[in-house]
Amino acid sequence: MANETTPITTKDNQKGKGGNHILYMMFKWLVVRPLLYLFYQERIYGTENVPLTGNLIVVSNHASDFDPLIVGSCMGRPVAFMAKEELFEIPIISPAITAFGAYPVKRGAGDRAAIRSAIESINKGWATGIFLQGTRTLDGKVTEPKLGAAMIAAKTQAPFLPVSIWGTETILPRGAKFPKLFQPVTVRIGELITAPEASDRATLEAYTQKCADAINALHALGR
């Protein structure tokens, strides 16, 4: 995911470009939602907080490679996530995240291209999903939020929708080859946070921390 300390840029190929809204909804209702309901006892709170139209940036914590599918499936509209290019080489994950509008990013060449791709995704009608810390954490808490989401919000005037994912760190712990079943997962969707009106560093940092605090407060509610 795009962040200040880990530069990334979009991969120059056709995989994951734009997604498909119809395929997205079919995959969501025929595959993702049934699996989450049957095998992960998923609970979702706050779906009424999701605006179904207009620019939107979904910001959340991150503890598992399955988080983009889980977050995207809980929204009433398509949500596209940036995804590290390595995920597009995994046979099972690649078609899933491509259907969900994900686009590959490559570490090492600067944040601007990744931010530009996120803005293009918003302009195509997708809500953009961003993991606020940029990388997975062992406990799912946001401790070092990055400024990428706030920069995109300032440029697009898209509000933030804070989302907490609880329990996904147990699905595929480090070293495991296959995901564990019957691990309880809870998703909590918070209230909208308006986009920053300025793009100076102090403002971006303040809004980023506001998002982090909202996510962590939701996460603290647990199951």
- Residue 162 is predicted with a pLDDT of 98
The pTM (predicted TM-score) of the whole model is: 0.84
- Residue 168 is predicted with a pLDDT of 94
Looking up tokens 């499936």 gives 73
Give the model confidence (pLDDT) of 70-114 as tens digits: 998 999 998 998 777 787 888 877 877 777 677 677 665 456 777
- Residue 107 is predicted with a pLDDT of 60
Looking up tokens 């939107």 gives 56
- Residue 111 is predicted with a pLDDT of 64
Alpha helices in 75-186 (DSSP H): 93-99, 111-123, 148-156
Give the residues of the chain that fall short of pLDDT 70: 1-19, 100, 103, 106-111
Among positive and negative, which fits the CA dihedral 23, 26, 31, 32? positive
**DSSP string covering 41-63, please?**
--EEE-GGG--SSS--EEEE---
- Residue 108 is predicted with a pLDDT of 53
Q: Which domains does the chain have, with CATH numbers?
A: 8-219 (3.40.1130.10)
